[in-house]
Structure 1
Amino acid sequence: MALISFVVPVYRVQGYLRECLDSILGQPVTDVEVLVVDDCSPDSCGEIIAEYADRDDRIRVVTLDRNVGLGEARNTGLALATGEYVWFLDSDDWLVDGCLAAVAERLRRVEPEVLVVDHVRAYWDDRVLASGLDRTMPDTGDEVFGVRDRPEVFEILHTAWNKVVRREFLLDAGLRFGPGWYEDVSFSYPVLLAACRISVLDVVCVNYRQRRSGAITRTRDDRHFEVFPHWHQVFALMARWGPEYDDLRPLIFERMVWHYLIVLGNGRRLSPELRRTFFARVAADYRRWLPPGGYRLPGGIDGLKHRLVAGGHWRTYAVLRALHHSRRGGARRLARGALPLPGPASAATRLPGPAYLARLPAPVARVAGVAREGLLRAYYQAQLRRPLDPTLALYAAYWYRGYACNPAAVHRKAAELAPEVRGVWVVRRDLVSSLPPGVPYVVAGSRSYFRALARASWLVNNVNFPDYVVKRPGAVHVQTHHGTPVKVMGLDQQRYPRGAAGLDFPGLLRRIDRWDYSVTANTFSTQMWERAYPAEYRTLEVGYPRNDRLVDAGPAEVEAVRRGLGIGPDERVLLYAPTHREHRPGYSPPFDPQAVIEVLGPAGRLLVRGHYLDPEARPGDAPAPSSASDGSDRVLDVTDHPSVEDLYLAADVLVTDYSSAMFDYATLDRPIVVYAPDWAEYRQERGVYLDVLAEAPGVAVTDFAELLASLRSGAAEGPAASRARAGFRQRFCALDDGRAAERVVRRVFLGEPD
């Protein structure tokens, strides 16, 4: 028998479920079972659960054929549990590393019926707020108690997940969860009332996730009225248990009124038109359940609220609530100190251009440049007052570095399927010549750029537009991203400060709030983006538009690409493409191009592509092509080649580390070698979503000698590597069928259903 049965109900938590399960399975105490109850979750939770169950036999999966809600899903898990204790953990929360050792020790030593553990509120912006358990109930050590001994236990947060409960105690008492919202009320209070042996462990065990979008119970909905039957059930149960519980009724009554007032006072839960009705229900329950001998009335403003409820004085309560919120809102506005936007500028304002500024003395040029930027921003504000252009779509990629990636693929397909939409590209002035012939463009920072930015009906980018960009009503922002993530991204980077140096997380949140669509290549990306970029956008899990070309390219196109790179038909081409390392500026993985050429043999060719964020880095100091007899003429630096898709098509083998290149290249079903010499450091300092050694799309090595050996032996093309690549492709490339861009265009521009 396991010591603890974890019951984990699952519904729409694909972005958080992995962290929850990892936090249980990675504990130092392994004497556990994990009952994961899939409550007919419509997202990819079922796939995640199956994946974990395949590799850990402590997981037992229960799949429900209809959605029954959190309470009934917990009951289902409880009925199947076999552990001595049961711990109901919500699937978007996670355990603190190592906490289970202290829990197991207390359970075995004290043998309580209920063990209360501490938690913290873990906010989406990386703030952590302590629960205050140590002030409410200090650690009880070897002692156990009942609620009459320590009635302050009722003041601990009334959730199921901060309590580890003996299973036989629950079964004997017949305690189960009720349906609907607020199911913890009719479970937690009866559990404490019925227990004779309660223990409090002052160890933080649960990270109680505070999502940016909030929990269900923090959304406006008339389902908040479901709190009433749960409290009715508590009083009905006490009545059934007999008069020996009458002395506890005042304590439970006070908690009931406190809870009702919490729900009523929260503007994010009840819409204004429902508050009066809710107040009336509170007053009715006050009269119905008021103990004959009364109860301890709170002091201060809380006591005033209780008296208003007792008298049914809704109007007085509403006025006092409005005054209170008005004062708080005024203070917040004063603290923000928002400044007015600059006024509109004349459309005829003449602005000094870059060529003019270049001729001025440096100090004068700086002042003139600032003035020019201010005028342009004012011009942008003026353009925002004009109507949207219903035919204009504005495209950009990689911070205006040129025509590339998913936006370019969407632009091409939109020209074909939605010719009425006028696609215009944003490009830096120094990169205008890199645009394909005939592509309409505006130069970043120019008047035409700000005009297009203000009036475009669609804005498509694989990164974020600048912070000053305003999300206009009716405009559609499409975030295509530019890779399946290996390294952690977005808000998840807050846990890895070395890799997040200089990142403005509040600014990031403002930027993602502009998104209407997030294009993802696979289910894995959808899961990671949901947690890393929490906002109200709609996910288009359609595959990556930029990979359409890789899917559709035939032998003739491959031959033409190779010929354009100067590669012969019989040459064996290896592409080396490492990723950027933000946390280690200037670092380049150990790589000797000449050694690789020697292994590849006389017919070998090496393409070396540095990351675009390391413009001066050339991996391994790759030489430029020459006619030297030492093989350097077969090493080609392709860092500045405008199309990475060309390089994928040309290459017979890819060597990379933590780059999203592996996911795109896997579409071609060609050999891949993961070369990760700094894996331990990268994983710890930068953070990863994927174990590239355990889940590699082929061979994985951690030093250069191993890399050479894998190339020399042909392991990269062996049966084991082929099996790994097939599994990788099934997991990450299933949507890359050559129609991803079409799906985006049909949904975004043509308004067709998914």
Structure 2
Amino acid sequence: MPSPLISVVIPAYDQRKQLADCLDSLLAQSFDDVEVLVVADRSPECPAQLVERYAARHPRVSVLRLDAAVGVGVSRNAGAAHARGEYLLFLDADHLLARDALRSFADRLGRTGPVDLLLFGHTRRHGGRDWPGGAEALLAGAGSEVFAPLDRPELLGAPALIWDRLIARAHWLQQGLTFPDGRYEEIPPVHRAMLTARRIAVLPRACVQLRRRETVHPTGSPGSSSFDIFEQYERTFALLDVLDAPTAVREALFTRMIRHYLFVFDLAGCVTRAERPRFFHRAADHHRRFQPPGHRRPTGREGVKFSLLAGGAYPAFEVAKLSHIAAGTLTGATRRR
């Protein structure tokens, strides 16, 4: 049996009962040179009967069953190990694939020839609206030609998401890419895949829709926590040392790292009140350790947050946040009058 062009790997964690819609969006695609691997572990969030029904009705869907509750990362690793496609696409239950997205991938690859990575855009669906995914300007500025990562280091400043790119399975295997334990497990393989790629192309189109307000981590491995994010970025910066990465790459990844820490720190439900001082000081330690020479902080309020983090000024950071919230509440009250 010939290998399909694309293997789609989906861990069957269905916390919000959205997996059926995700699978329907895949099966409605006009392009059918694809296999869909649904990885079902023993987690209570895994709807075993649902995935079995889809596999029974649709020849392109197969189910890989795991004997324990292992989390998203291990499930993705298992799916990638069983995939046969030339390219890997990792999705979650709360993703929808845009109409004819697979055809767009195939057409773009037909123009570029084989690449290690094909990057594309995404949107977030919340409150009845589609919100941009955050990397549109970077993708639009990449141009139509195939490039190497050092040609476009600014792309390393985009969020480290595994589901807004195709990865050549040969590249995945050659680099020994895997998802580590813990939350935010996308960070190391996404960055290693980018940094070791020889040929990267961009499809400047939103091809995946995320049906969450924010990119909250779906399900980590047993025992995982929000503090796992620090170890994941340590893996990335250790790789930069091995590769002797230039300053432009370090700058892009440093800014991305600090933005990610501040995002997680402020996102409801990620860091408890009791954990906030410890999380802040871990982030401040990474700021000191990994800041590249000549780093220029962002402007505006974001720059103030960078500066307070750099100084380890946790009380001042919290006061500044409360002051901003109060100012926003006052402004909103004034506007309602």
Taking structure 2 as the reference length, the TM-score comes to 0.90
Where do 1:33-182 residues align within 5 Å?
33-43=35-45, 45-110=47-112, 111-123=114-126, 125-131=127-133, 133-138=135-140, 142-182=144-184
CA distance in 2, matches of 1:279, 1:49: 41
Equivalent residue for 1:261?
262
The structure, 1 or 2, with the larger RCO (C-alpha pairs under 8 Å, 6+ apart) is 2
Q: What does 1:523-538 correspond to in 2, within 5 Å?
A: none
User: Which residue type is aligned with residue 257 of structure 1?
Assistant: I
Could you tell me how far 1:80 is from its partner in structure 2?
A: 0.6
1:264 is aligned with what amino acid?
F
1:195 paired residue number: 197
Equivalence for 2:278: 277
Q: How does 1:292-307 map to 2 (within 5 A)?
A: 293-307=293-307
Match of 2:210, SS state, is strand
| Residue matched to 1:16 | 18
| Structure 1 position 288, deviation (Å) | 2.1
Q: CA RMSD in A?
A: 2.5
Residue deviations 1:633-689 (CA, integer Å, cap 9, x gap): xxxxxxxxxxxxxxxxxxxxxxxxxxxxxxxxxxxxxxxxxxxxxxxxxxxxxxxxx
What's the CA shift for 1:33? 0.6
Find the aligned partners of 1:316 and 1:217 in 2 and give their Cα distance.
Answer: 32
CA distance in 2, matches of 1:239, 1:141: 29
Quote the offset at 1:43 in angstroms.
4.9
Q: Is the 8 A contact 1:9 1:36 kept in 2?
A: yes
The Cα shift of 1:274 comes to: 1.8
Distance in 2 (alpha carbons) for counterparts of 1:332 and 1:235:
42
Q: From the superposition, tell whether residues 259 and 55 of structure 1 become closer, same or farther in structure 2 (CA, over 3 Å).
A: same
SS of 1:223's equivalent in the other structure is coil
1:71–1:183 contact (8 Å) kept in structure 2: yes
Distance 1:273 1:332, change over 3 A: farther
The answer to whether the 8 Å contact 1:139/1:201 transfers is no
Aligned partners of 1:189 and 1:332: how far apart in 2? 40
Could you list the per-position Cα deviations for residues 420-474 of structure 1 after superposition, in whole angstroms to 9, with x for gaps in the alignment? xxxxxxxxxxxxxxxxxxxxxxxxxxxxxxxxxxxxxxxxxxxxxxxxxxxxxxx
CA contact (8 A) 1:7 1:77 kept: yes
TM-score (norm 1): 0.42
- What is the identity, as a one-letter code, of the residue corresponding to 1:85? Y
State whether residues 125 and 131 of structure 2, in contact with CA within 8 Å, keep that contact through their aligned partners in structure 1: yes
Other-structure match for 1:31: 33
For residues 241-295 of structure 1, what are the alpha-carbon distances to aligned partners after superposition, in whole Å with 9 as ceiling and x for unaligned?
Answer: x32556522322222112112222334422222211111111111222233x242
Summarize the alignment of residues 664-683 of structure 1 with structure 2, pairs less than 5 Å apart: none
Q: Unaligned stretches of 5+ in structure 2?
A: none
Counterpart amino acid of 1:50?
E
Cα deviation for residue 327 of structure 1 reads: 1.9
CA distance in 2, matches of 1:14, 1:277: 31
Deviations 1:97-139 (A, max 9, x none): 222111111123212211111111112x321112354423217
SS in 2 for 1:224: coil
**Inter-CA distance 296–39: structure 2 relative to 1 (3 Å threshold):** farther
Indicate the residue corresponding to 1:309 in structure 2.
309
Q: Which amino acid is the alignment partner of residue 89 of structure 1? A: L
The residue type equivalent to 2:193 in the other structure is V
Task: Give the share of equivalent positions with the same residue, in percent.
Answer: 35
What is the Cα deviation at residue 142 of structure 1?
4.4
User: Aligned pair count?
Assistant: 331
For the residue of structure 2 that corresponds to 1:187, the secondary structure is: helix
**Equivalents in 2 of 1:302, 1:155: separation in Å?**
15
* Cα shift readout 1:464-497 (whole Å, capped 9, x = no counterpart): xxxxxxxxxxxxxxxxxxxxxxxxxxxxxxxxxx
Segments ≥4 residues shifted beyond 6 Å:
none
Deviation of 1:334 (Å) = 5.8
**CA distance 1:141–1:18, shift in 2 (3 Å):** same
Q: Are residues 222 and 275 of structure 1, via their aligned partners in 2, closer, same or farther at CA, if it must alter by over 3 Å? A: farther
